[in-house]
Amino acid sequence: MQTAFRLENLSSGYEHVRVFEGLNLTIEEGKVTTIIGPNGCGKSTLLKTIGRILKKHQGTVYLQEQNMQNLSTKEIAKKLAILSQTPIAPGQLKVEELIAYGRYPHRNNVNRLTKKDEEMIEWALTVTNTKDYRNRALAQLSGGQRQRVWLAMALAQETSILLLDEPTTYLDMAHQLEVLDIVKNLNEQHCCTVVMVLHDINHAARYSDQLIAMRQGVVMETGTPQEILCADVMRKVFNISARIMEDPATKTPVCYGYDVLKEDNQ
Amino acid sequence: MHNNASRVAMTISILLLMIVGASYLHMTNGVFDMSVIDVLKTLLRIEPNPKFDLVIFEFRLPRIVIAALVGVGLGMAGVVLQGITRNGLADPGILGINAGAGAAVVIFMFFFQLRVVTADMSSWLSILMMPIFGFVGGTMAAALIFSFAMKNGHLDMQRLILTGIAINSGFGALSLFLSLKMNAQDYESAAVWMAGSIYNANWIFVVSMLPWLLLLGFYVYRKSYLLDYFQLEEDSITSLGIALEKEKIKLLLASVGLVSACVSVSGSIGFIGLMAPHIAKQLVGIHHRYVMPVSALIGACLLVLADFIGKTVFAPAELAVGIVVSIIGIPYFLYLLVKSKA
């Protein structure tokens, strides 16, 4: 099994804050891996660091067994795409134009789209089911539509790895599943490696092959949803006593209720 | 797309016509009125009349050309600055680049005793040096502003504007201080120059700024597509494989160069760099490949018109073109502020 990412002794954070230190981790290719953990545990920081949006402090990130430091940002952009948590674009920009931005790393002539570019844009529109409003301005879209358009832009980048930072935030329940279904389809039909951060552990369990549970900058556990969604790990990671059962429809574990543990348990 | 392109072509044609119209007004009116036929005859060298030659070739034509070139430079620099800061209120004047370049040029005048008013061919070397001095000053101002506005490796927009204002008044004070130390004659030329004026324009100025304008203007136009991407937030830009900070700095230096070349011949003219891009975006939309040339032409058109107004309204007294632009610009600026709040 090839690895999408291998982190060696990785430390990262912001200017004066070290969020995590000495992290060693492997993320496999061809799978959906989701990072979960309480607020401020460093899950977004980890995702941003392996996506080179955030500069690492120390250590090495290997992207498909190549040291990321030796790759130019444009070469990296051909291998991985990141959808950030709060993407911004001018409201007058048209859906199709935004998606075409995703072709940037592949374009030689910046003023004209090639046939291949147009094919990829068409594919991204189809996969994300955004064809109907391709000519609309971004300001005219609903939150769920807009999130799918952003996803389409990342897809147009034609990468084998997709990093998603809380792709379901601010969406209602139906739209959350819509986005996650697209992600799942990409993984299953198009062999896309997906690494994402999710807040909802039930979604994480349902849509992931692997979970990474973090707390205070430390990876507490990694494993399959069945291994991670258990009372023991939930207590260690989220400080909750969770009641877990198997969803008979999806055959994945769900947390159907929980209580916060008292601080003195720590 | 096709629709958009033809609209851009249309806008550009109309603007070119307007510039020709403004130039015509500028050329025929003034202390010495001339008829169209006189102007055309002089330009086409039919029965040349030395008196007309002097007025057209030595006074009016270089002045119009300078006005147009400075307008083009400031219009383009404004598009770049608003694009990379993602802030519609950014303008070379507000960000202190004008003032920095201005201070450097005043220092230059102070030490080299250059009399702009009486510039002649013997001082051509020092005039050619002026844009370079302006560039150093402008870059220094830009470097100061950006180093103060940087936070965690990112540009903080609020700090950018605030530092810009501070740097602006700091360099302004330095220029004023130095100009007060000059002898009366130098002071007068420095004061006239600082107000943003081009009525002492001559061909040497054109020669000194034209190479910069062509070179940097072409570079900035080639890179204008990047400004489209810069309207996204930084994480998305990086994700697309754009070397964000590197490209920003290159574009910033190019626009500082453009502004400095303009400031060194015309003094500090504010508001053109603010207004021209906004008007351009109203006309041709948000794509910088189109906004850039349109903004350049609007800058040229505005400045030629403003100079015409400055020269005729209070004739025989002349109003510095920078002041005319400010009189038009301030209400427009306030309008933008009110509109952006709503």
Q: What is the pLDDT of residues B184-234, one digit of tens each?
A: 777 777 777 777 777 667 788 888 889 989 999 999 999 999 999 999 988
The DSSP annotation for B49-105 comes to -HHHHIIIIIIIHHHHHHHHHHHHHHHHHHHHHHHHHT-TT--TTTTTHHHHHHHHH
Is the CB of B239 less than 8 angstroms away from the CB of A78? no
DSSP code at position A42: S
Residues 137-176 of A with CB under 8 A from B: 153-154, 157
Structure tokens at A253: 């574990």
CB spacing of A101 vs B240 below 8 angstroms: yes
What's the rounded Cα separation, in Å, for the pair B13 and A240? 69
- pTM for the model stands at 0.87
Residue B4 is predicted with a pLDDT of: 75
Residues of B with CB under 8 A from a CB of A: 152-153, 225, 228-229, 231-236, 238-243, 285-286, 289
Confidence tier at B3 by pLDDT (50, 70, 90): low
For residues A22 and B249, the model is more confident at A22
Burial class of A264 by CB neighbour count within 10 A (0 to 12, 13 to 18, 19+): exposed
Q: Could you tell me the sign of the dihedral formed by the alpha carbons of B262, B266, B268, B273, in that order?
A: negative
Per-residue pLDDT, A263? 65
Contact between B109 and B174 under an 8 Å Cβ cutoff? The reply is no
- Residue B267's closest CA among B129, B154, B130, B143? B130
Cβ contacts (< 8 Å) between B285 and chain A: which residues? Answer: 92
- pLDDT of the residue at B298: 94
Q: What is the reported pLDDT for B117?
A: 45
A194 phi and psi angles, rounded to 5 deg: -120, 130
pLDDT less than 70: residues of chain A: 1, 263-266
What is the model's pLDDT at position A35? 96
Q: Is the Cα dihedral A125, A127, A133, A137 positive or negative?
A: negative
Residue A110: the pLDDT is: 76
CB–CB of B240 and A48 under 8 A?
no
- Facing A77 at nearest CB: one of B225, B233, B239: B239
Rounded to an integer, the average pLDDT of B73-97 is 86
Mean pLDDT of B279-303: 92
Task: Please state, in angstroms and rounded to a whole number, the distance separating the CA atoms of residues B299 and B280.
Answer: 10
Distance CA B92, CA A242 (A): 59
CA distance A206 to B42: 83
Amino acid letter, residue A103: R
Q: Mean pLDDT score of chain B, rounded to an integer?
A: 82
Reported as a pLDDT band with limits 50, 70 and 90, residue B65 is very high
Q: Which residues of B touch A89 (CB under 8 A)?
A: 231-232, 236
Kind and range of the H or E element at B319? none
Interface residue A81 vs chain B (CB under 8 A): yes
Question: What letter represents residue B158's amino acid?
Answer: Q
**Mean pLDDT, range B294-315, rounded to an integer:** 89
What pLDDT digit, counting tens, does each position of A211-236 carry? Answer: 999 999 999 999 999 999 999 999 99
If 0-12 CB within 10 Å is exposed, 13-18 middle and 19+ buried, where does residue B126 land? Answer: middle
- Starting at the earlier edge strand, list the strands of the sheet with A18-28: A18-28, A3-13, A56-63, A66-67
- pLDDT tens track for B88-140: 878 887 778 888 888 888 888 777 655 544 555 456 666 667 777 777 888 88
Backbone angles phi and psi of A41, in degrees to 5: -85, -10
Q: Which of A16, A82, A117, A147 should one mutate to test binding to chain B, selecting the residue with the greatest count of B CBs within 10 A?
A: A82
SS3 (DSSP) at A8: strand
In angstroms, the CA B140 to CA B134 distance is: 10
By CB neighbour count within 10 A (0-12 exposed, 13-18 middle, 19+ buried), where does A72 fall? exposed
What number is the ipTM of this complex? 0.90
Which among B239, B285, B286 has the least Cβ separation from residue A82?
B239
Residue A248, exposed/middle/buried by CB under 10 A (0-12, 13-18, 19+)?
exposed
State yes or no: pLDDT of B38 exceeds 80.
no
Residue B1 in this model has a pLDDT that exceeds 50 = no
C-alpha atoms less than 13 angstroms from C-alpha of B3 in its C-beta half-sphere? 1
Tell me which of A202 and B331 has the higher pLDDT.
Answer: A202
A78 contacts B238? CB cut-off 8 A: no
Query: Are A149 and A124 spatial neighbours (Cβ–Cβ below 8 Å)?
Result: no
Would you state the structure tokens that stand for residue B41, as one six-digit string? Answer: 């005859």
Instruction: Give how far A78 is from chain B: nearest CA, Å.
Output: 8
Q: Give the separation between CA A17 and CA A47, rounded to whole angstroms.
A: 17
- CB A53 to CB B235 under 8 A? yes
Nearest chain B Cα distance for residue A242, angstroms:
35
What pairs with residue A25 in β-bridges? Answer: A7
Give residue A122's pLDDT.
95
Separation in Å, CA B290 to CA A134, A168, B284? 22, 36, 7
Residue B341 pLDDT: 56
Residues above pLDDT 70, as percent of chain A: 98
The string over A168-201, giving b where at least 16 C-beta atoms fall within 10 Å of a residue's C-beta and e elsewhere, is beebeeebbbbbbebbbebbeeeebbbbbbbebb
* B194 Cβ contact partners less than 8 Å away, ≥ 6 residues apart: B102, B106, B175, B179, B267, B268
pLDDT of residue A197: 96
**DSSP conformation letters of B224-285:** HHHHHHTTS-HHHHHHTT--HHHHHHHHHHHHHHHHHHHHHHH----SHHHHHHHHHHHHH-
Chain B closest CA to A236's CA: distance in Å?
32
